[in-house]
Structure 1
Amino acid sequence: MTAYEIIRKPLITEKTELLRREHNKYTFEVNKKANKIEIKKAVEEIFDVKVANVSTLNVKPVTKRHGMKLYKTQAKKKAIVELTSGTISYFKEM
């Protein structure tokens, strides 16, 4: 599995932005089969930073309603990565 298959996308919400600013922690949606060691190596390879700690959590599917129809969201795996040095830029600066 390549680094780009492990790290799917960054999760950008108000809560994750507070974690980023105050504690230098970044949140990503990752492949369900990836473990903490693979996630750490992938982040270090893609963004060229040093990772101190990786925390993972599995997000269970939620049942939602759209009119009369019920459906379930997809199960996901999130990783919260704490950096020792450096920062990650999500967007290119123009």
Structure 2
Amino acid sequence: MSIIIKPIITEKITKDGEVFNRFGFIVDKRANKIQVKNAVEAAYGVSVVNVNTMNYRADRSVKYTKSGLITGKTNAYKKAVVQVKEGETIDFYNNI
């Protein structure tokens, strides 16, 4: 089971990474905090201090158009915000 699906790169998470050493990831819905911690430490070679996880539900929408009703939904996902040890960082932009 692949725990880390992809990193989150937004303005807010990038600022948290610079100021508080916190980085965001979209992770598998079945993964717990210990599995997320071990996966980040193995993938990026950093020491993880704290892990916060959030479950996001699927948003459903209905649009009323001239041709009729259009329904849709977004995917549900789990987000993990990982705080690394002071002085360490994760660089998503450099391919080494």
> TM-score of the superposition, structure 2-length normalised?
0.86
Q: Which residue in 2 is equivalent to 1:90?
A: 92
Q: Percent identity?
A: 40
Question: Post-superposition shift, 1:22?
Answer: 1.2
1:6-49, Cα deviation, whole Å (9 max, x unpaired): 00000111111121111110000000000000000000000000
Q: Unmatched 5+ residue regions in structure 1? A: none
Which has the larger helix fraction?
A: 1
What is the letter of the counterpart of residue 50 of structure 1? S
Q: Describe the SS at the equivalent of 2:84.
A: strand
Say what the alpha-carbon RMSD is for the aligned residues.
Answer: 1.7
- The AA in structure 2 aligned to 1:48 is G
Determine whether 1:46 maps to 2:48: no
Question: Which segments of 5 or more consecutive residues in structure 2 lack a partner in the other structure?
Answer: none
Q: Secondary structure at the match of 1:40?
A: helix
Specify the alignment match of 2:54 in structure 1: 57
Q: Secondary structure of 1:44's partner?
A: helix
Larger radius of gyration: 2
